[in-house]
Amino acid sequence: MSKVFQHPIRIYIEDTDAGGIVYYVNYLKFIERSRTELLRSFGYGKTAILEEGLLLVVHSIDAQYLAPAKLDDEVIATASVKKLARSYVIFEQQVLRGDQVLCKATAKIACVNEKMKPTALPMHLHKAIASYSEEE
């Protein structure tokens, strides 16, 4: 079982529609932040991969919206590693308010070179993700 990373988020007015409900696309931003902070948590900030001439890109995402978050809610965006391959990672993610799942998603994140061709994840990043995903 993979360890679950948690990133707290407060819902602000710019996250909501006119009715004070979180606009659906913002859930994708929340889970992106969670994945980014997970990588940062083991010393791999956004600029690190750019310095290596690589990019981490969203290959695909499957999201289900189950309940709305509202203005001023405190939510948690989670990320756990479902599958680690040579050139991509599949994350299981959720946005939660307390124990209630508001959104769940599966995101495939691919590593590409400057020509946008799939390439192996840097070895140190691969090792860090592998080590993290094996913890309980």
* SS3 state of residue 4: coil
- In the beta sheet, which residues pair with residue 108? 60, 90
Domain at 5-124, CATH class: alpha beta
pLDDT at 130: 93
Residue 1: pLDDT band (50, 70, 90) is low
Query: For position 52, what pLDDT does the model report?
Result: 83
Summarize pLDDT for 39-87 with one digit per residue, the tens. 998 787 777 777 888 999 999 999 999 999 999 999 999 999 999 999 9
Stated pTM of the model:
0.91
Can you tell me the distance from the alpha carbon of 22 to that of 76, in angstroms, rounded to the nearest whole number? Answer: 14
Q: What is the mean pLDDT of the chain?
A: 93
pLDDT score of 135: 58
Per-residue pLDDT of 91-114, as tens digits, reads 999 999 999 999 999 999 999 999
Residue of 17, 62, 73, 99 with catalytic role: 17
Domain residue spans in the chain? 5-124
Active site includes 62?
no
Note the pLDDT of residue 51: 80
φ, ψ of residue 45 in degrees (nearest 5): -70, 170
Q: Report the amino acid identity of residue 90.
A: I
